[in-house]
């Protein structure tokens, strides 16, 4: 049975940004693995990340943050449109989803792009030749994004945690929650952990 990886994340969450590097390494080593990128839409414009949080992620991982992002770390974040886009992409063009997620996170965390209106996404849409419907760029979650949230709820019940980011690896009847924090300094080291799980 083909192994599957479930990555529960938020595009505007610094820990999720750092953890995407782990998903990249797994995808490189296991191109046949089915990867589900599930955006949990945590940031809805009511809370910020904060400088302390960003400093902590920077110290505990290899993630880089741009000056423009750091300058506005205390401003409220809203990942609704990114959640809509990623849910649509996961449904329509899953083979592009991880590459686009990396581009969204680079735009947000390095360039300081807030990703809160259609214009903010234009360069990514053009670069990857995407044609998302206009409903993606509304300020409420799309039906597809809400459907993703219901999938996340089911998996979180199984994992017995609502914490994110989360990496759940399944193979046959075996399901293992990978402790992403162990690998953030050296993302390539997660590959050995995956190998051990798949050998069980």
What confidence score (pLDDT) does residue 159 get? 84
Asked if residue 165 has a cis previous peptide bond (ω within 30° of 0), the answer is yes
Please tell me the distance from the alpha carbon of residue 44 to that of residue 50, in angstroms, as a whole number: 15
Average pLDDT over residues 107-124: 97
H-run or E-run covering 101: helix 94-105
pLDDT bin (cut points 50, 70, 90) of residue 60 is: very high
Average pLDDT over residues 75-88: 97
- Extents of the domains making up the chain: 4-199
pTM of the model: 0.95
Maximum distance among all Cα pairs of the chain, rounded to whole angstroms: 47
Share of the chain above pLDDT 90, in %: 86
State the average pLDDT for the chain.
Answer: 94
Tens of pLDDT, residue by residue over 147-169, are: 999 999 999 988 888 899 999 99
pLDDT bin (cut points 50, 70, 90) of residue 172 is: confident
What confidence score (pLDDT) does residue 62 get? 86
Average pLDDT over residues 110-116: 97
Top-level class of domain 4-199: alpha beta
Please tell me the distance from the alpha carbon of residue 30 to that of residue 195, in angstroms, as a whole number: 10
Contacts of 159 (CB under 8 A, 6+ apart): 166, 168, 177
Please tell me the distance from the alpha carbon of residue 137 to that of residue 64, in angstroms, as a whole number: 27
- CA distances 144 to 92, 141, 147, Å, are 11, 8, 5
């Amino acid at each position: 049975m083909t192994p599957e990886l479930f990555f529960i994340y938020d595009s505007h969450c610094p820990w999720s940004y750092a953890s995407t590097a782990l998903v990249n390494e797994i995808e490189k080593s296991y191109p046949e693995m089915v990867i589900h990128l599930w955006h949990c839409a945590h940031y809805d414009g009511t809370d910020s990340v904060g400088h302390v949080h960003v400093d902590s992620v920077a110290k505990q991982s290899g993630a880089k943050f741009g000056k423009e992002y750091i300058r506005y770390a205390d401003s409220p974040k809203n990942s609704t449109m990114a959640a809509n886009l990623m849910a649509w992409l996961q449904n329509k063009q899953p083979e592009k989803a991880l590459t686009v997620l990396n581009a969204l996170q680079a735009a947000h965390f390095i360039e300081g792009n807030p990703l809160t209106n259609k214009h903010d996404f234009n360069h990514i849409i053009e670069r990857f030749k995407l044609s998302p419907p206009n409903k993606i760029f509304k300020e409420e979650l799309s039906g597809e994004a809400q459907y993703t949230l219901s999938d996340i709820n089911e998996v979180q019940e199984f994992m017995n945690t609502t914490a994110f980011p989360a990496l759940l690896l399944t193979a046959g009847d075996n399901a293992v929650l990978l402790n992403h924090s162990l690998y953030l300094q050296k993302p390539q080291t997660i590959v050995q952990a995956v190998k051990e799980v798949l050998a069980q």
